[in-house]
Amino acid sequence: MRGPHNIIRLIRTGATLERNGAMGAVLDAFDAPRPLRILARMLGKPFQWLGFKGDPSLPPATRALMAMGPAYIKFGQVLSTRPDVVGQDLADQLRVLQDQLPPFPRATAMREVERELGRPLPEMFSEFSEPIAAASIAQVHRARLADSGEDVAVKVLRPGIERAFRKDVDAFYFAARIVDLFAPGARRLRPMEVIEHFDGVVRGELDLRLESAAASEFADNTKEDAGFRLPPVRWSLSARRVMTLGWADGVPLGDNAALDAAEHNRRDLGERVLRLFLLHALRDGFFHADMHQGNLKVAADGDIIAYDFGIMGHIDEYTRRVYAEILFGFIRRDYKRVAEVHFEAGYVPATQDVDEFARALRAVGEPIFGMDATHISMGRLLSYLFEVTERFGMETRTELILLQRTMVVVEGVARSLDPHINIWEVARPVVEDYIKQSIGPRAVLADLGKTALVVARFGPRLPDLVERALVAQSQPGLDEKPGRSAAFWPALGGALIGGGVVLLANLLM
């Protein structure tokens, strides 16, 4: 029955978009071609009465997705991180999606906890509150540990949410195939890529063990960061469908009146949240990708507390270095170097002209640097940069899109705390410090050391490599003349280089 279900779901989706006035905005955002627009209208207009009616106070696209339920809300949240796919305007609309869904009953949550953890709830918790937050995938309860009396936050997946998501994601794939069929040449649609990305995000969020692991790794990375802390994971009370964290007590970072009443320095908080984000992205390559005010609190001692680790960003070390050099080049207004970095990294095809690209980058950077400090935005810079690089043939890099989206959110948080914050002044020391540590003589020596340690593991095989080189030299192929075969020099060279690297490794160790 998968086919009929998908067709019905697709019709109802179109009807809901049409009923809430979102169809045109969605089709425009995706640059949908005429055949697809005709099909969408055919599926939407005649069946408007089948569509769900959304909250008229919300923007049209947000209203429609909220009306269709958890999977569609989560889909909208994921699309808000992909302005490269849906366009900046729709991404901004979707960014205001709020997880204000009706909670499921406390008794149901308690049964889910007992079933998942395999123990009677009173053995684990002496108190278990009504839901304090309800999201598209899970809801949170405040509880108290029976053995220690410590307050904790217990996150519980919605009952049956896995099956509901699989059903809707299957319909999304069906819709993507329809789009591929009717619009094979649409430049910005990339429907299968979008759905696969969404599917991967949701699969990760539907297993709270992965979120617990992300929280634990993030805590290990940031334990020495002054003025920042995370609630600890309670592994003994966490599983696939339940996650337990220490309770985070503090003032919401978005409540300026409460922050002022508690005598917190909002300028310092704004600068700190920006520095911390850049530090985590550059130093660790692992950052909180949902750092809005709702996921941040300020403790009584002034520490920033982060929670909700369902969306985390990953950047490999090489990409971090490239990204840092690009940022550093813009900070110094060295557009030629920024252009060269793009070519050296292979981001822009070598067939393009580096000087022309540098001039295009200058057109991006100079207007921004000419702005008042209160209007300078690193997120806007990256957005313009991606537009320019796309014109020069650079393929979209998902991890940088997520980084740019998070940068915009973090800048918004910082400016809400201090409207006069100078983004570049705050960012410069973090970027410069990373450049010194990752690009320069010390970095070269560190890279050599890492390479040596990897090659050292092959030390026991070096005699075999030399023997094979000698055998290749004494037994040339049938088409070769006696003497050294074609394989001799590479094999012997590899053995000698390997031996040298092993020696270097031993010296470094």
Taking CA atoms, 352 is separated from 345, 357, 391, in Å, by 14, 8, 10
Element (H, E) at 244: strand 242-246
290 is catalytic: yes
Taking CA atoms, 403 is separated from 7, 202, 286, 344, 406, in Å, by 36, 19, 10, 21, 5
CA distance 220 to 235: 15
Among the residues of 206-353, which ranges form H helices?
Answer: 208-222, 256-261, 266-279, 317-332, 335-344
CA distance 39 to 74: 25
Q: Which of 446, 441, 469, 455 is nearest to 497 (CA)?
A: 455
Question: Which residue type occupies 370?
Answer: G
Q: What is the largest CA-CA distance in the chain?
A: 89
The burial class, CB within 10 Å (0-12 / 13-18 / 19+), for 56 is exposed
Angle, CA of 241, 242 and 243, to the nearest 5°: 130
> Is 348 within 8 Å of 393 (Cβ atoms)?
yes
Q: What is the DSSP string of 401-430?
A: HHHHHHHHHHHHHHHHH-TT--HHHHHHHH
Q: Kindly report the number of other CB atoms within 10 A of residue 95's CB atom.
A: 19
* Annotated catalytic residue, options 290, 301, 308, 316: 290
CA distance 381 to 388: 11
The burial class, CB within 10 Å (0-12 / 13-18 / 19+), for 206 is buried
Among the residues of 457-487, which ranges form H helices?
Answer: 462-474
The burial class, CB within 10 Å (0-12 / 13-18 / 19+), for 410 is buried
Q: Which residues are designated catalytic?
A: 290
